[in-house]
Structure 1
Amino acid sequence: MAKLLLMDHDGAIDDLLSQLLVLTMPDVDLIGITVTPADCYIEPALESTYKLLQLVGKETIPLGRGDYYGVNAFPNEWRARPEIINALPLLINLPQAPDPYTYQSAADLIVDKLSSASDKVTILLTGPCSNLVLALEKAPELKDKIAEVVWMAGAFRVHGNVQTFQHDGTAEWNVFWDPISAQKLVSFELPLTLIPLDVTNHAPVTKVFLSTLATQIDYKLSNLAGQLWALTIDTIPSYHYTYFMWDILATSYLAMPDQFTTEIVKANVSTRPPNAGQTYLDEAGYTLKIATNVNTAYFYDYLLAQFKQ
């Protein structure tokens, strides 16, 4: 039986690549996608999300619009990427996407889908967790309908990737955007698996990988994935090729959990400066699972095979 999946992403390039990867998974039944206005402007991000569904003939999957804005905004230049994505050759001439203001709110869609699901639902978060927390605050009884939450988030034994004023650099961006919701999610003690920087740091987007992917250019998904990753070369930091497989590595956990090394820990989240959003090990904290390592060779081969469909 296919795994029921709700996905919440925040519209960045690696989020959309993650959506594309989910759509290649034969054992996953994607029952809804919600978009958080974090690393994106929400209107073009919803259009990108819909276009990817169109590309594979699954535009009937419902979308939810996040209308909650976090505490610490992502840089504007990162958030504008969906505008470029919607103009890519494989996407620009697809039929017009729905009016982005007509979508159901993200939290309500999560509540509806969990309520009506015939089995427990896995939730994949590749952006901040705010929409899920809002949904569970509206309907806390639905915690029992969740099989697992897989979240690309956190940094435990490595440095964070937030560099901004009044911050000591210990946090990862998905947590930093809304540390209060992150702390709430951890406190719920759901079956929660974090894919933190500790493991994503092992999986950079290398030019060797992109060169191999380019040999599959006759496959539509490989062609599009290569174009999307090419847009990341000047992103973080400028002109240095240090983009990592953050979200897509977390997404691959759905299909290859046995290729990850994981650990059950007690942890917590800081909600105030100078370390707002820091995820840290804490014996007095909450129980969750974190990934610490991954078989990277298997992972890269898996991506190449999935995008060759």
Structure 2
Amino acid sequence: MAHHAVSGRAEGRRVARKIIIDTDPGQDDALAILLALASGEALEVLGLTCVAGNVPLGLTTRNARRICELAGRRDVPVMAGCDRPMGRDLVTAEHVHGEDGLRGVDLPAPTMPLDSRHAVDFLIETLREAAPGTVTLVALAPLTNLATAFRRAPDIVARVADIVLMGGAHRALGNVTPVAEFNIHVDPQAADIVLCAGAPVTIVPLDVTHKALVTPARNAAFAALRTRVGQVAAALSRPTGRESARHGGLGAPLHDPCTIGWLLAPDLFAAREVNVMVETGSELTMGMTVMDWWGVTGRAANARVLHDIDADGFFDLLTAGLARL
């Protein structure tokens, strides 16, 4: 399957990779968005498409605008998308992200307006208008918006450069059920549609993100930036003391920014091409990502799955990015 190069070159300068971030902020979404907006000439953020997930849609759209304003980027359009999964009731994660989705971190209410376009319409229009293979979709949330767009406009699938999604798990097992990761579990039908659509997919699963732990030292490095963004990043990622035993008490995982880390510095990661299917039938294993690691099914690979990370290098990249805002 074709995966497109990370960047092109024109007249000796790097051409920014165009991305749309589909998101449900969420404190780790917030840090991913900040890293993308800080990336200068590497990434051009065309828009933020919001979906219900970590918290309901009204809060995810509010938080996305608060983050853009924190970064001084009121020019980035923020769209509201689907307010519930395709075929199931919405499950949210306030127990992780707080009632407001951003742990109650002191950010002012947004003054920039919500873009009037629906997120799904924006995805369809943007992919149809851009040259094929030039727009990457970065999915930090349940895949409802992407699946709805693909179902409504199948012609756009072939135009996608890559889908880089945070979701799923292999050996790491699940974080909301014994076998399912939150983003996939919230809307497994949508995940199934996206994985079966035929666009290139890069999956950033818990196997990688559980190695990107915010230790006290890494958190202190955010605070040491002595900027407003650094203060907020530190508050969003501060260890709570309730960290799961599965991380050895070292810190909490930083899931979503790993997607932007992959786009900016793929050498920090190890990857493998495998077949990935999503369980949509069994309530016991609903949303499980079944990864054929050893090729036993004979099914063709449909995803590049990241499985290891240079965590120190990643946190250096993230801290340096936040320092530019």
| Cα deviation, residue 250, structure 1 | 1.9
Greater CA drift, 107-116 or 78-87:
78-87
Quote the Cα distance in structure 2 between the aligned partners of 1:184 and 1:40. Answer: 23
Please state if 1:33 is matched with 2:48. Answer: yes
| Cα deviation, residue 31, structure 1 | 0.6
Quote the Cα distance in structure 2 between the aligned partners of 1:80 and 1:213. Answer: 21
Residue matched to 1:297: 312
What is the percentage of aligned positions where both structures have the same residue? 25
Please state if 1:213 is matched with 2:222. Answer: yes
Residue matched to 1:278: 288
- Counterparts in 2 of 1:87-166, with a 5 A limit? 88=106, 91-92=107-108, 96-98=111-113, 103-118=116-131, 120-163=134-177
AA in 2 matched with 1:280: V
Unaligned runs of 5+ residues in structure 2 are 1-14
Quote the Cα distance in structure 2 between the aligned partners of 1:234 and 1:106. Answer: 37
Match of 1:185 among 186, 194, 213: 194
Residue matched to 2:257: 248
Quote the Cα distance in structure 2 between the aligned partners of 1:130 and 1:253. Answer: 23
The SS at the match of 1:154 is coil
Quote the Cα distance in structure 2 between the aligned partners of 1:278 and 1:200. Answer: 17
AA in 2 matched with 1:117: A
Residue matched to 1:82: 100
Residue matched to 2:5: none
Quote the Cα distance in structure 1 between the aligned partners of 2:54 and 2:171. Answer: 24
The SS at the match of 2:199 is coil
Unaligned runs of 5+ residues in structure 1 are 164-168
The SS at the match of 2:252 is coil
Residue matched to 1:13: 27
Quote the Cα distance in structure 2 between the aligned partners of 1:212 and 1:84. Answer: 20
Quote the Cα distance in structure 2 between the aligned partners of 1:77 and 1:213. Answer: 24
Quote the Cα distance in structure 1 between the aligned partners of 2:128 and 2:68. Answer: 24
Alignment CA distance shift 1:161-1:242 (3 Å): farther
| Cα deviation, residue 4, structure 1 | 0.7
Work out whether residues 108 and 135 of structure 1, in 8 Å CA contact, stay in contact via their aligned partners in 2.
Answer: yes
Residue matched to 2:70: 55
Greater CA drift, 32-41 or 68-77:
68-77
Work out whether residues 23 and 60 of structure 2, in 8 Å CA contact, stay in contact via their aligned partners in 1.
Answer: no
Any runs of at least 4 consecutive aligned residues in structure 1 with deviations exceeding 6 A, and if so which?
none
With normalisation by structure 2, the TM-score equals 0.84
Alignment CA distance shift 1:235-1:145 (3 Å): farther
The SS at the match of 2:253 is coil
AA in 1 matched with 2:285: N
Work out whether residues 152 and 250 of structure 1, in 8 Å CA contact, stay in contact via their aligned partners in 2.
Answer: yes
AA in 2 matched with 1:210: N
Residue matched to 1:227: 235
Work out whether residues 32 and 113 of structure 1, in 8 Å CA contact, stay in contact via their aligned partners in 2.
Answer: no
| Cα deviation, residue 82, structure 1 | 3.2
Match of 1:203 among 209, 212, 232: 212
Quote the Cα distance in structure 2 between the aligned partners of 1:202 and 1:171. Answer: 18
- CA deviations 1:17-75 (Å, max 9, x no partner) are 11111100121111111111110122232122112222333212222212241225124
Greater CA drift, 128-137 or 114-123:
114-123
With normalisation by structure 1, the TM-score equals 0.88
Q: How many residue pairs are counted as aligned between the two chains?
A: 296
| Cα deviation, residue 175, structure 1 | 0.4
Work out whether residues 78 and 235 of structure 1, in 8 Å CA contact, stay in contact via their aligned partners in 2.
Answer: no
Quote the Cα distance in structure 1 between the aligned partners of 2:305 and 2:99. Answer: 29
